[in-house]
Amino acid sequence: MLGDARTLTASPAPSQSHHKGLNDRLRGSLSALAILMRLADQERGRSPQNVLFVRAALRTSLDRNNLAEFIDTLSDLTSRYPLTATDILPAPPTPARLKRAKEIHQSLCAPCHDEPDNEVERPAYNLFMQAKAISVTEFSARMIIGVRGDRVTGLGNPLNDEYLASLIAYYRSAQQ
């Protein structure tokens, strides 16, 4: 979410359709935020934060197009709820990982991500370029939540932790 919000404030500004897609994705992400915060608090054994208030504040900031406030609130949340992806990070680019990732990329990712249609609201970014342009934490989060399944797997990420670790190592180490 923080990366999408920062993209909305970037220069040059995203196209009108891309702006709408990012805004829609942020609004959709807000719907799951409360439950994710509660689960994270529960996993850490701490008292639940005022999740509904935080979500309402974020929604209000977005409704008012106050992206600075939205980004500040999200920045605070990312410090209180850091990504803990120890099963996939760090992922050294071993020969076996790179080989596996290349096969996964060619069969599942390349059709949409190698030559993305940047005119749509939610383009499928070139993953090699994106891996170099954003932090490893943000890229990893995007890989964890961004990969979607099919009718069989539903909306869950069909890739296991090792496959995700392999892909992250592959994209970040590629010389493309």
Q: How many helices (H) and strands (E) does the chain have?
A: 9, 0
pLDDT score, position 174:
86
> Is position 117 within any domain?
yes
Give the pLDDT score at 87: 80
Is the same domain home to 18 and 65? Answer: yes
Same-domain status, 63 and 100: no
Burial 32-60 (b: 16+ CB within 10 A, else e): ebbeebeebbeeeeeeebebeebbeebbe
Output the domain CATH number for residue 125: 1.10.760
pLDDT value at residue 77? 92
* pLDDT given at position 36: 87
Look at residues 53, 80, 107 and tell me which one is the last residue of a structural domain: 80
Enter the pTM of the model.
0.83
Residues 103, 139: one domain?
A: yes
> Is residue 141 domain-resident?
yes
Q: Does some domain include residue 90?
A: no
Tell me how many domains the chain contains: 2
Indicate if 76 and 115 belong to the same structural domain.
no
Three-state SS string over 60-121 comes to HHHHCCCHHHHHHHHHHHHHHCCCCCCCCCCCCCCHHHHHHHHHHHHHHHHHHHCCCCCCCC
Q: Do residues 7 and 73 share a domain?
A: yes
pLDDT in tens, the chain (176 residues): 999 999 999 988 888 998 999 999 999 989 888 888 999 899 889 887 778 889 999 999 999 999 999 999 999 999 989 988 888 887 889 999 999 999 999 998 998 899 888 788 888 889 999 999 999 999 998 888 877 655 555 566 778 899 999 999 999 998 65
Per-residue confidence (pLDDT) for residue 47, from 0 to 100? 84
Q: How far apart are CA 173 and CA 131, in angstroms?
A: 9
pLDDT at site 91:
83
Position 159 scores a pLDDT of 86
- The whole domain housing 26 covers 2-80
How far apart are alpha carbons 81 and 48 in whole angstroms? 12
Q: Give the residue among 60, 66, 72, 59 at the shortest CA–CA distance from 26.
A: 59
The reported pLDDT for the residue numbered 148 is 65
Out of 49, 80, 111, pick the residue that ends a domain.
80
What is the C-alpha separation between 149 and 145, in angstroms, rounded? 11
Does residue 85 lie in a domain region? no
Single-letter code of the amino acid located at 143: M
Same domain, 162 and 128: yes
